[in-house]
Amino acid sequence: MTLVGQVRAGDFWPIDLGATYWFDNEAELSPGELDLQLYPLVGVAFPEGGSRSTFSAVEAKAALCPLEHRLRSGMLIACAGMQGGVLFARSEGFVAEDEQARPLLGFEVYARWHFRVAGPVGLTYSAGAFVPLFRERFGYRDGFGRFREQFRIAPIGGRLDVAMTYSF
């Protein structure tokens, strides 16, 4: 869920401000993936409720929009800025259950086309890319002590969104 606003003051470039909350995303493991066999004849039972890792995040964003091209139906703008926040990871059904919070920080560039529908109501399309400064990775250790990566932040990401807008 994302909430975005734009501040305009006189002849200064517009500033986009935003806040995002990423709801829980779960990654469940099967008994074969967890591999709790310590020795061929001795094993640890797969947890009754299963094993899973849950990830969520909260971010704040700020971007400056120096390029603006007015069109008859609205405007096209280009923006660049930063985003920062916290990524939360929680594990359940493991020998060593854990909760962690790690920082998120990155750069973002995007283009936005704002189309006026009627009066203050509009439709906005955006496309862009972001580059994280920290590439956190999460995983677990199997029964043989090997680290198994479950999630890692990509070296570059993209965004594509559509939003209804209201200007006041």
Residue 63 burial (CB count, 10 A): 24
37, 60 Cβ separation under 8 angstroms: no
Min mean pLDDT across 27-31, 88-92, 110-114, 163-167 is at 27-31
Pair 54, 28: CB distance under 8 Å = no
Domain boundaries, the chain: 2-166
Q: Of the candidates 53, 60, 2, 59, which has an alpha carbon nearest to the alpha carbon of residue 25?
A: 53
Q: What is the pLDDT of residues 54-100, one digit of tens each?
A: 889 999 999 999 998 988 888 899 999 999 999 998 887 766 677 88
Higher pLDDT: 48 or 70? It is 70
CATH of segment(s) 2-166: 2.40.160
Identify which of 142, 60, 71 has the alpha carbon closest to the alpha carbon of residue 113: 71
pLDDT, one tens digit per residue, over 102-158 is 999 999 999 999 888 888 888 999 999 999 998 888 877 766 677 778 788 889 999
**What is the total residue count of the chain?**
168
Beta bridge partners of 124: 114, 163
With 0.95 as the threshold, say if the pTM is over it: no
- Whether the CA torsion 130, 5, 64, 136 is positive or negative: it is negative
- The answer to whether 156 and 128 have CB atoms below 8 angstroms apart is no
Q: Decide if 59 contacts 19 (C-beta within 8 A).
A: yes
Torsion of CA 60, 126, 6, 79, to 10 degrees: 80
Above 80 in pLDDT, residue 41? Answer: no
